[in-house]
Structure 1
Amino acid sequence: MPVTIPSALPARRILEGENVFVMTPGRAEHQDIRPLHIAIVNLMPTKLATETQLLRLLGNTPLQLEISLVRMASHDPRNTAQAHLDAFYQTFDEAAEHKFDGLIITGAPIETLEFEQVDYWPELQQIMDWSRDHVFSTMHVCWGAQAGLYHRYGIRKYPLAQKIFGVFPHRVLDPRNRVLSGFDEVFPAPHSRHTETRAADIEATEGLDLLAVSPEAGVYLAASSDGRELYVTGHPEYERDTLKLEYDRDVARGLDIEVPRHYYPADDPTQPPMVTWRSHAFLLYANWLNYCVYQRTPFDLGAIGAMASVTPDED
């Protein structure tokens, strides 16, 4: 949350130079507060686990959030009880009647398929088109990031000779971007994927900014220049044992799977894994909620889609 200080205080210029969010009393007086409405399009087969992971990160903020869970009507989930879906999820047709401050589109374990081969691809395209006028800011995660970049900008994904699997160090490219406020210059984050989005394709695309990359894992963060789209190619929401469970499952199936890198102490899978990415995961979601959503979304949700974007630092 911002610090309110006098406009003429010398510390203001120093803090702003460090990308610390400060607010003048004049702007603070005009801050309107209400719950933020966040929709989650959950494409993961393990819906209950994904719900917990995302809500844990979203809940680490003083902002009050109202969450709507959305499922695809064009796909029949096989790993989640119908009673759970009926009790807690809306279809897109039901959610489409409303507007939201924020939207999260999750990953899905279908990245080796071409987008057009995914049974719910037309419905997901419809959601992404709908979000332009019904959502203020959207976070796309893992396969959801690849899907968003492909649908909105024509940026393709490329198959990898070897799966990117583990927790990798990433370098901040644009420390002035609000999404990266408070980040260390190098920070860890988990990946688990068979395909990649290439940095050169993002850098060559007008309206997109490359924010963080890894020498080993490649692109991690990108965003639209207006801050209304955030693309996260990794899995900051992963829990301590998520990669372990995936590794153990594949070993039990007899698959040729490498030990996830930089995850176990000394890369020894007989040792319990260590969590090194949690603080930056919380920070990423808090920054997105604060700077891309709360500080910019209109107080009247009905105005989304009918107004020009305001800059996050407008006083």
Structure 2
Amino acid sequence: MPIKIPDDLPARRTLETEGVMVMRETDAVRQDIRPLRIGLLNLMPNKISTETQIARLIGATPLQVELSLLRISNHVSRNTPADHMASFYRPWDEVRGERFDGFIITGAPVERLPFEDVTYWDELRRILDWTQTHVHRSFNICWAAQAAAWHFHGIPKHELQTKAFGIFRHRNLVPSSPYLRGFSDDFVIPVSRWTEVRRADLPADSGIVVLAESEEAGLCLLDDTCHRSLHMFNHVEYDTTSLADEYFRDVSAGTPIQLPGNYFPGDDPRRAPVNVWRGHAHLLFGNWINEIYQTTPYEIAGIGSTSQAA
């Protein structure tokens, strides 16, 4: 089954050219099926690029998925056209009474700020609590993963001396996890962050399982079983050129930045990078969607009840 997104969302054209099955809204309403409802709280500056990356990954499953684009209620995006936000995004306040099978919260360019200094921190805390009563399973990415770890468990983030930036090898620590089904023993993932969460800070009684870790880049993927959440500290969803875009942006702005490690062939930024993580990105999101499908209540109203599957 295809992914259902608005007919005129820019991501539609990109996904259709890539061969991803995209369902028209008019066709979706005629099917006698309950699609999986996935919410995307998009905190990234370039929202169009990020929504395309996420839609590409959740649209590759054989299940029908309905993607809802959400934003922080009282925060105005400065990097995405206002008409795009008005046409395709709903403020969280408008959907807080609704339920979702899955919910994704992206990274945000605020990781060097203390959590409490982020202008929308109070609302994000309410959203994280809301996921425990209105969402079956959550997927938090980069800064959102750090924010969830801090909010739910008091796990701090630590600033790095230099940015963790590049493509790094990670070890599959729990091959039996349903989320790592089909994964290689080790795999590469893009990393782009100034802060980290450390294994030593994970509370022993938290129920957190470390699924993937890198000798160079540290913790990567946590299964927060008590909160039905995955915390991904890196950017498995990135496009081939995402790290290059960040590198050249900083170079143009005069911001000190090192070459992303293991990324440009021969460390030559004039040469096009090669995507060697795409397969595992699809596998991770596919496994997450499948786990939702296997365990979510048949009636969406049952999400959040004490009897739902953990």
TM class, shorter-length? 0.7 to 0.9
Paired position in structure 2 for 1:27: none
C-alpha offsets along residues 164-208 of structure 1, whole Å, 9 cap, x if unaligned? 000100001111111000000000000100000001223634211
**1:205–1:110 Cα change, 3 Å:** farther
Instruction: Give the stretch that moved more between structures: 167-176 or 266-275.
Output: 266-275
C-alpha offsets along residues 91-120 of structure 1, whole Å, 9 cap, x if unaligned? 111111210000000000110000100000
Give yes or no for contact 2:41–2:106 (8 Å, CA) kept in 1: yes
- Is 2:199 aligned against 1:199? yes
Paired position in structure 2 for 1:189: 189
Paired position in structure 1 for 2:16: none
**Alpha-carbon deviation of 1:309?**
4.3
Give yes or no for contact 1:243–1:260 (8 Å, CA) kept in 2: yes
Give yes or no for contact 1:226–1:309 (8 Å, CA) kept in 2: no
Paired position in structure 1 for 2:140: 140
Secondary structure of the residue aligned to 1:289 is helix
**Alpha-carbon deviation of 1:66?**
0.7
Secondary structure of the residue aligned to 1:38 is strand
- Is 2:126 aligned against 1:126? yes
C-alpha offsets along residues 72-108 of structure 1, whole Å, 9 cap, x if unaligned? 1121111112211111111111111210000000000
Percent identity over the alignment is 47
Structure-1 separation of matches of 2:220 and 2:80: 29
**Alpha-carbon deviation of 1:227?**
7.3
Paired position in structure 2 for 1:37: 37
Secondary structure of the residue aligned to 1:179 is helix
Paired position in structure 2 for 1:306: 305
Paired position in structure 2 for 1:234: 234
Paired position in structure 2 for 1:296: 295
Tell me the TM-score normalised to structure 1 length: 0.86
Give the counterpart letter for 2:220 in structure 1. Y
Tell me the TM-score normalised to structure 2 length: 0.87
Query: Unaligned regions of 5+ residues in structure 2, if any?
Result: 1-31
Give yes or no for contact 1:74–1:119 (8 Å, CA) kept in 2: no
Paired position in structure 2 for 1:79: 79
Paired position in structure 2 for 1:69: 69
Give yes or no for contact 1:170–1:188 (8 Å, CA) kept in 2: yes
C-alpha offsets along residues 38-67 of structure 1, whole Å, 9 cap, x if unaligned? 000001111111111110111111110111
Structure-2 separation of matches of 1:205 and 1:243: 36
Secondary structure of the residue aligned to 1:295 is helix
Q: Which has the larger radius of gyration?
A: 1
Aligned residue pairs, count = 280
Query: Unaligned regions of 5+ residues in structure 1, if any?
Result: 1-31
Paired position in structure 2 for 1:49: 49
Secondary structure of the residue aligned to 1:125 is helix
Structure-2 separation of matches of 1:188 and 1:309: 35
